[in-house]
Amino acid sequence: MKYLFYFYTSFNQKFLGSLLDEAITLAKDKTNDVYFAYCGGVNSMCVFNPKGSKLTCRVCGYCTKKIIEKYEIKAISLSNYCTKSSINGIKYNNAEDLRKVNYRGVNIGLSIMSTFISSTRNMSPLMDNHGRSYFDAHLSQNVRFVDALYNVIKEIKPDYLYGYNGRYEDSRPIFDISRELNIDCRLVEDVKVNGISYKLVYDNHLPHDIKYFVERRDFCWKHYSLDEESKIQLGKDFYYKRRHGEPSGDVKIYIKDQREGYIPEFDKDKINIAIMNSSEDEYAAVGGDWDKLKFFKTQYEGIIFLLENAPSNVHFYLRIHPNLSQIKYRYHTDLLKLSDKYSNITVIPGTSEMSTYTIMEQVDKVVGFGSTMGIESSFWGKPSILLGPATYYYDDLAYIPQTKEELLSLLTAELTPKVNDNLYKFGAYTLDKSPLYKSVDNIDITLEKKKFLGISFHTTPFMSIWGNPYITGLSIGIARKLTDNSLFTRYTIPLAEEE
């Protein structure tokens, strides 16, 4: 069997290590041919070099090649497979146009926007001269990158393609090309549990595929080494942990600064409905069901519809997600102004100490756009109305209107919370994916944070080029530091928002 791996940089040690561990395992079988491709400068910008430092690029290429070769895997620089490419014919006037750009079956526009939004949280960049120059450069490198991948695949003719995650422009082409050429694809992610590193492997699906999420969740439920009662308790634990501000699958605990019982005044003569919005930028450029299942184009548009069309006996309480607190773009700031224009809404900023869970307890029902508060509300006995894509969309745990008329009727209807076993499966899977874990068997990818002369960097045992992981980590740390130095960079990131 022939296997072709791709990862772009040694600057993300754990991601590279997770893929490299898979490659080493496959290479132990001498009947396999294992190749590991890396960027080699095909892309002048990436997540770890967003401003295009040439020096950073050279250090990265050198280190990545040396690390792959150290483990006796055939290293391939994509720069050797470049051909003359052009973006002539690619037209776009705004971010929405850019999202739709497809080149040779690869959603390059979507992946460019996904990378950009993740780094800036700006969903609608202004396409002035600065913005267009920046995105033209990204389109050019993506066309070059896709062509190079097709060329190396044509030469090697792999049976399997391997990549990491598949969301950003540095990795999405691997997945999309695999679909175009009907080649099996495995995407890898790393996860750390109780200090131990594991791998998660996704076969022929993106990790954020909603239906695949359900499939993997059900697999875990079936393969937990627990009796049925213990599995249900594991699922319940997720909701109790979230309710009490304990670690439960999120990077942050968003209620730690909220005060239990602190809520706005409620008019008991009205139907009180909480709107639990979410960080809209998080899945703004993922594609698939995350676009298709939207009831409204934007959350703001949906909220305006509710305010302008709900019966007069309905009052809304918008709990802005705390993860939006520092966002200066209009998809957040416009929400803060809603109560100035509409009398049927109380806006609770993300910075407010008001308790999200106490608000949920006091209202009659909850409207959400994909936030886990939608499914949590069902668990705690509140009817939930879902107006957008969510990992629990297909679980029959929320009321999902098919028309605007149906949505308006749900606002005043007597609803009961939707509860079934998927409620517990969701909670259990969020806390425990252990049936899917693959061990890291060949190398040690444990990260250790270091600092030298004000330069922060990480070391990891498998990343030793000059006989010392510390020197390798420091070299990478210095190179990454230079990505912000204008003497070495080629681009500046556009932050202005479209009018």
Q: What pLDDT does 486 receive?
A: 66
Residue 44 has φ and ψ, to the nearest 5°, of: -80, -20
Low-confidence residues of the chain, pLDDT below 50? none
Long-range contacts (CB closer than 8 Å, 24 or more residues apart) made by 192-200: 193/434, 193/437, 197/14, 197/18, 197/440, 197/445, 197/446, 198/437, 198/438, 198/439, 198/440, 199/18, 199/21, 199/22, 199/437, 199/438, 199/439, 199/440, 200/433, 200/436, 200/437, 200/438
Q: What is the distance between the alpha carbons of residues 437 and 189, in angstroms, rounded to a whole number?
A: 10
Q: What is the distance between the alpha carbons of residues 473 and 257, in angstroms, rounded to a whole number?
A: 36
Q: What is the distance between the alpha carbons of residues 198 and 372, in angstroms, rounded to a whole number?
A: 25
Give CA 424 to chain center in angstroms: 23
Q: Strand 365-368 vs strand 33-38: parallel, antiparallel, or unpaired? A: unpaired
Q: What is the distance between the alpha carbons of residues 93 and 99, in angstroms, rounded to a whole number?
A: 11
The three-state DSSP-derived secondary structure of 167-198 is CCCCCHHHHHHHHHHCCEEEEEEEEEECCEEE
How does pLDDT run across 396-407, given as a tens digit for each residue?
A: 999 999 999 999
Q: What pLDDT does 311 receive?
A: 97
Q: What pLDDT does 487 receive?
A: 65
